[in-house]
Structure 1
């Protein structure tokens, strides 16, 4: 009886141990599966995030490709979009142009001279602002893509430091040699002088060589291959340039007037003319920072056929042009007409 009970206890303990081991194995497998599930869920979340980023980037690129360089798609929230600039352009001719024309006539200019002067001011404003806007855009692109801003690293300072170290080392060596020579009188005085002269020449040679290397022009510099600006970043830069252009208008106006007064001192005495000049520069500057920039058609030579698609008559019509008065505004070069120009016609 006791043997039977003992045997049963042993079997029971064995089954309990087996059951415990099975439970531990099941728990271990469950933990492993939970870990795998968490890892899989994180991978899926990461993949989903990357997918969303890729879709957003594709959407930005598609939007940038659709709008950048396409003047036919206008931002209606932009107060300086092409259609608004065309309205200001017409107002400039109707208001400030007329006031300045009367001022010039009062100062003794005849009709053709006054019209020619006003047209020349607008033309100079247009080319000045478009050139400035182009340089401004190039500088913005270079600032983003080139951390060195077109300059090579200058190692001349390192050469100078190296020379100073070599000079200090030579001076220490020379002092040691002089101390050593005082204990050896076998050297003749002439040999001693020659020795010091050679050392001085050597120092001078090292000095000249070091500074010649530092001052050599870097004529064989290798050009860096800069990365292309992604189109979505280019669109952002264009938007920044348009936003900043409004705040920079006064700076551009002052620089243009400064240069104009230098070439034509009579401008300083034009009270209404200065206001006309400022309006011309402001308008041309906002035209130049558009993408693509708006265009003015100044080509209207006397004697050419009167193009009614681009110009309207000043005081007289006709089949031919007598003289141009006001240029036409185009949406872009060779683009559609935003505002017609004005020209005097003749038979």
Structure 2
């Protein structure tokens, strides 16, 4: 092997090959120095290798700690968001509870939205139903207007009665089971002969009925379709007979469906929204009603009802339409 190939510690290999008799003191000294250098270098390499191993372990440890911190951070963010949503919901309930003048912006069926949809219905479905009846049946203008108004009034009556009946039944069934528990067995339903001596006070009843109304609102969109069928079977035929209008085409059916849908959502509000009609001969309420085709100081007919937030002189949320004289 050449000198270059042996490297810087080649002298050690040469000395070992020659043996003690052939090695000069100078070569021996050089070999010992090279050997010591080699030993130190090997020790340094071992230390470096050990440090690198420790460093890798430290990095792995830091990575694991970082992963745990990331998980904890994500959990804390989720808890923060949950607490914020709950606090927001509680604050909204506290603000709107018992105060119908304050809108709950998280409610898709809030009164302002319903009033806007009801007003839009006058421009769209009412107009289409009126024109269809006028063109097809050549019926008198005011007879058609009164006929459509009668549909709205009857839908309002049906929805109000159904809403009150629902809450009454729900309240009875739920509170009855709570204060008088029952057990279903193989032999039938077992009911205790004794009843609780405790009675629900007014505040408890208010809380129960408030929860029931909120629970019902979560099913709000399910009721209109069967209610339309009930209205057609129980009300519509009588209305048609009363006004001697036999036509019940697609436009009239659409008008009825829209009336039921929106008025039902109005009636399940807490408190229920109210439709306001002016009577013939009343002084024109120009603050709550717009004129149809003729202005005046007194009402000839009420074409379309105004909507107020609740009964008892509630705030106006949508104007009605009257014909003046």
Whether these two folds match at TM > 0.5 is: yes
1:124 aligns with 2:124: no
Verify: 1:143 aligned to 2:173, yes or no: yes
Give distance in 2, aligned partners of 1:267 and 1:65. Answer: 50
1:307 and 1:275 map into 2 onto residues whose CA distance is: 30
Aligned-partner Cα distance in 2 for 1:61–1:269? 47
State the partner residue of 2:262.
Answer: 283
Q: Which residue of 2 aligns with 1:88?
A: 117
Deviation at 1:233? Answer: 4.1
Structure 2 residue 299 is matched with structure 1 residue 321: yes
Q: Alignment partner of 1:73: what SS? A: coil
Q: Mapping of 1:148-227 within 5 angstroms?
A: 226-227=199-200
- CA displacement at 1:261 relative to structure 2: 3.8
How far apart are the structure 1 equivalents of 2:151 and 2:292?
19
Q: Given that residues 328 and 341 in structure 1 are in contact (C-alpha distance below 8 angstroms), is that contact kept between their aligned partners in structure 2?
A: yes
Contact 2:92 2:104 in 1 (8 A): no
1:241 alignment counterpart: 216
Match of 1:339 in 2: 318
Structure 1 residues 318 and 227 mapped into 2: Cα distance closer, same or farther (>3 Å)? same
User: How far apart are 1:312 and its partner, in Å?
Assistant: 0.6
1:302 aligns with 2:280: yes
Distance 1:324 1:87, change over 3 A: same
**Is 2:216 the partner of 1:254?**
no
- Computing the radius of gyration from Cα coordinates, the structure with the larger value is 2
CA displacement at 1:149 relative to structure 2: 11
Higher relative contact order (CA 8 A, sep 6+): 1
Residues in 1 aligned to 2:246 and 2:220: alpha-carbon distance in whole angstroms: 25
Q: Is the alpha carbon distance of 1:105 and 1:76 closer, same or farther for their aligned partners in structure 2, counting shifts above 3 Å?
A: same
Distance 1:90 1:110 in 2: 24
Report the counterpart of residue 77 of structure 1 in structure 2: 106
Q: Which moved more, 1:325-334 or 1:315-324?
A: 315-324
Structure 2: tracts of 5 or more residues without a match: 1-87, 181-194
Q: CA deviation at 1:115?
A: 0.4
Retained in 2: the 8 A contact 1:61–1:231?
Answer: no
SS of equivalent to 2:219: helix
Structure 1 or 2: more helix by fraction: 1
C-alpha displacement of 1:130 = 0.7
Q: Deviations over 1:315-341 (max 9, x none)?
A: 111111121100110000110100110
CA distance in 2, matches of 1:139, 1:104: 40
2:272 aligns with one of 293, 301, 304: 293
Distance 2:250 2:235 in 1: 15
Contact 2:167 2:209 in 1 (8 A): no
1:288 is displaced (CA, Å) by: 0.6
How many Å apart are 1:75 and its aligned residue?
Answer: 1.7
| Distance (Å, rounded) in 2 between the aligned partners of 1:237 and 1:144 | 9
Deviates more, 1:106-115 or 1:68-77: 68-77
Structure 1 residues 318 and 262 mapped into 2: Cα distance closer, same or farther (>3 Å)?
Answer: closer
TM-score scaled by structure 1? 0.57
Is 1:274 the counterpart of 2:304 in the alignment?
Answer: no
- Pairing of 1:49-64 with structure 2 (within 5 A): none
